[in-house]
Amino acid sequence: MKIKNYINGDFQDPQSNDWLDNYEPASGKVYGQIPNSDAEDVEEATAFAKAEFPKWSNTTLEERSRILMNIANGIESRLDTLAEAESRDNGKPLSLAKTVDIPRAASNFRFFAHAIAQFASESHESVGLKAMNFTLRKPLGVVGCISPWNLPLYLFTWKIAPAIAAGNCVIAKPSEVTPMTAYLLGEICTEAGLPPGVLNIVHGLGTTAGQAILEHPEIKAISFTGGTKTGEHIARTCAPMFKKLSLELGGKNPNLIFADCDYDKMLATTLRSSFANQGQICLCGSRIFVERSLYTSFKEDFVSRVKELVVGHPFTSATLSGREKPATFSVQQKVDLGALVSKSHLEKVEDYIHNAKAYGGTVLCGGKRVSVEGYEGGYYLEPTVIEVTTNDCKLNQEEIFGPVVTIMPFDNEEEALQLANGTKYGLSATVWTKDLDRTMRLSDSLQAGIVWVNTWMNRDLRTPFGGVKASGVGREGGFEVLRFFTEAKNVCISY
Ligand code: NAD
């Protein structure tokens, strides 16, 4: 199957007619091609977006809201198709795509359909000076949205929905590793009545298609989610052009477990926060710190629960019940972890496991590839728990972004805080305790954009989302992102 670019409402081949292979992680086989787009495709898309901008930015809020709602409904009505496409493209369990990724993509559009109708700007009366100020919030023009492979449609739409709700036209590039659902979104947008040119989807590599988006002088802002190294490069490229930047980058999130926690809830949630989506969620708690008095029992229970997790083909007979079976699926009833996203990513994750001793740890369980019958070429890996003795080791300092977590004990709250804050990253942190004072102290002192207490991945779309330190700059979500996608202009009237 050939994926195409979506430019000015049309599906197009890349101008170079050059194509890249698209791999199915569950089998390791090529199952389609995607455009290897370059600066010419970005140029064409930007010209259409720029031409459409005056009209779209003057489209009423009610009409924008109506179209966004149509897109949300279009996504929901294709739940099964989109979930299967996402799971096949990414390797994630179909059950996860069906319950998390695709419903959340619909929620992103629905949420910003409502939010734009409630978004307001400020006025300031200059008392005693006979002047009145009001602030206009103007859309920026053409903006670039670049997203990663781990939550493909979920994160792609998390940027696009607020950008177009605020009146911008968009050049969007999904990850070249997982392009399929972004491709399917084009058709949904057309059906929903989104005018041609408002959203343009250009597929291809970061270093060519992505780079062309960064460098295009008519693209006024870049909203990026991806790795910290790429974020550095984007900042270096875009800062001299004075583009607005929102960078959502990597993490090495701490999970602080205190002896007074609700043990069963903590254990069940920690399994999820460690291995959901094969550990490939930027918010996964990859460094687990446990109060010493609980450490031995936690280690025993956690390892035994991890050993029970089932690794297998992402499609199971249970998740496909009642539907036509696709070409590849397995007959397992349950699967907890599917395949990692690519061969190169699998090898990167394996390097940390194979060198665990040298990198400062001891593997307690997992760490081996899994051979799934009929899909021996797939990128399957056992969930892995590594015990470390110091937070300064490579295993605790570098983002692995796979089904690998480390565990180590701590003696008191002060040490726990030091360990949690002891990395260059600062995306999220999770705390397990029933002590309210401790909750308040840690919430105040943890260096993270998001702190979860006795929960994980609990998301209210109105809240600010983003990281500190090397985890990024700027916030997505709610009105924060509508502020990012608009420019404030103050008008002062003297009377
Ligand atoms: P990546 O940085 O390799 O790629 C992300 C996107 O950037 C892709 O679309 C890629 O093609 C593009 N890109 C790469 N080089 C580019 C360039 N020179 N110019 C423009 N675009 C370029 O990241 P990835 O491997 O796809 O994703 C994994 C990373 O994303 C992890 O580090 C993870 O923590 C992070 N992530 C962060 C969040 C968050 O909200 N903070 C969410 C999900 C993933």
Question: Among 51-60, 269-278, 286-295, 309-318, which stretch is predicted with the lowest mean pLDDT?
Answer: 309-318
Residues of the chain with CATH 3.40.605.10: 5-249+472-493
Question: Residue 385 pairs with which residues in a beta bridge?
Answer: 365, 405
Query: Does the active-site annotation cover 248?
Result: yes
Q: Residue 157 C-alpha to ligand 1 middle, in angstroms?
A: 15
| Cβ within 8 Å of residue 210, ≥6 positions away | 146, 173, 204
Length of the chain: 495
Give the pLDDT confidence score for residue 324 in this predicted structure: 56
Q: Residue 427 C-alpha to ligand 1 middle, in angstroms?
A: 15
Locate the ligand 1 atom nearest the alpha carbon of residue 146 and give its number.
9
The beta-strand segments (E) located in 167-215 are 169-173, 199-201
Do 247 and 231 touch, CB atoms closer than 8 A? yes
| Cβ within 8 Å of residue 102, ≥6 positions away | 75, 79, 82, 83, 86, 153, 154, 181
Q: Which of 146, 171, 399, 427 to mutate to test the pocket of ligand 1 (most atoms within 8 A of CB)?
A: 146
Locate the ligand 1 atom nearest the alpha carbon of residue 207 and give its number.
18
pLDDT at 316 > cutoff 90: no
Q: Residue 230 C-alpha to ligand 1 middle, in angstroms?
A: 6
CATH superfamily of 254-453: Aldehyde Dehydrogenase; Chain A, domain 2 (3.40.309.10)
Q: Give the torsion sign (CA, 10, 11, 13, 19).
A: positive
Q: What is the mean pLDDT of residues 368-390?
A: 96
What is the C-alpha separation between 422 and 58, in angstroms, rounded? 48
Give the pLDDT confidence score for residue 331 in this predicted structure: 57
Q: The tokens of 274 are what?
A: 């460690």
Q: Residue 73 C-alpha to ligand 1 middle, in angstroms?
A: 28
Considering 44, 52, 248, 476, which one is annotated as catalytic? 248
Rounded to two decimals, the pTM is 0.97
| Cβ within 8 Å of residue 414, ≥6 positions away | none
| Residue nearest to ligand 1 atom 30, measured at CA | 226
Kindly provide the ipTM of the predicted complex, given to two decimals. Answer: 0.98
Q: The tokens of 435 are what?
A: 């002590």
How confident is the model over 13-58, as pLDDT tens digits?
999 999 999 999 999 999 999 999 999 999 999 999 999 999 999 9
What is the C-alpha separation between 33 and 269, in angstroms, rounded? 38
Do 101 and 86 touch, CB atoms closer than 8 A? yes
Do 20 and 176 touch, CB atoms closer than 8 A? yes
Q: The tokens of 477 are what?
A: 């979500």
Share of the chain above pLDDT 90, in %: 95
Question: Residue 20 pairs with which residues in a beta bridge?
Answer: 34
What is the C-alpha separation between 170 and 184, in angstroms, rounded? 17
| Residue nearest to ligand 1 atom 36, measured at CA | 226
Share of the chain above pLDDT 70, in %: 97
Helix pair angle (180-192, 79-90), 10° resolution:
160
What is the C-alpha separation between 115 and 460, in angstroms, rounded? 13
Q: How many helices (H) and strands (E) does the chain have?
A: 16, 20
Q: What is the CATH number of domain 5-249+472-493?
A: 3.40.605.10
Give the pLDDT confidence score for residue 322 in this predicted structure: 54
Q: Which of 92, 100, 225 to mutate to test the pocket of ligand 1 (most atoms within 8 A of CB)?
A: 225
What DSSP string runs through 111-142?
Answer: HHHHHHHH----EEEETTTTEEEEEEEEE-SE
Locate the ligand 1 atom nearest the alpha carbon of residue 234 and give its number.
19
| Cβ within 8 Å of residue 299, ≥6 positions away | 290, 364, 387, 407
Residues of the chain with CATH 3.40.309.10: 254-453
Name the DSSP class of 337: B
pLDDT at 449 > cutoff 80: yes
pLDDT at 325 > cutoff 70: no
CA dihedral in degrees (136, 139, 140, 145; nearest 10)? 140
Q: Which of helix, strand or coil describes residue 18?
A: coil
Locate the ligand 1 atom nearest the alpha carbon of residue 148 and give its number.
26
Cα Dmax for the chain: 79
Q: Residue 231 C-alpha to ligand 1 middle, in angstroms?
A: 8
What DSSP string runs through 38-79?
Answer: -HHHHHHHHHHHHHHHHHHTTS-HHHHHHHHHHHHHHHHHTH
| Distance, CA of 345 to chain centre | 17
What is the C-alpha separation between 148 and 146, in angstroms, rounded? 7
Dihedrals phi, psi of 48, to nearest 5 degrees? -65, -40
Q: What is the mean pLDDT of residues 78-89?
A: 97
Q: Which of 150, 228, 347 to mutate to test the pocket of ligand 1 (most atoms within 8 A of CB)?
A: 150
Give the pLDDT confidence score for residue 193 in this predicted structure: 98
pLDDT at 155 > cutoff 80: yes
Dihedrals phi, psi of 377, to nearest 5 degrees? -85, 0
Give the pLDDT confidence score for residue 334 in this predicted structure: 85
Is residue 370 very low, low, confident or very high in pLDDT (cuts 50, 70, 90)?
very high
Based on its alpha-carbon atoms, the radius of gyration of the chain, rounded to whole angstroms, reads 23
Query: One-letter amino acid identity for 142?
Result: V
How confident is the model over 402-435, as pLDDT tens digits?
999 999 999 999 999 999 999 999 999 999 999 9
Average pLDDT along the chain? 96
Binding-site residues, ligand 1, Cβ < 6 A: 146-150, 155, 173, 175-176, 205-207, 210-211, 214, 225-227, 230, 233, 248-251, 282, 399, 401, 427, 467, 472
Q: Which residue has the tokens 């069906």?
A: 98
Q: Is 59 exposed, middle or buried (0-12, 13-18, 19+ CB in 10 A)?
A: middle
| Distance, CA of 153 to chain centre | 9
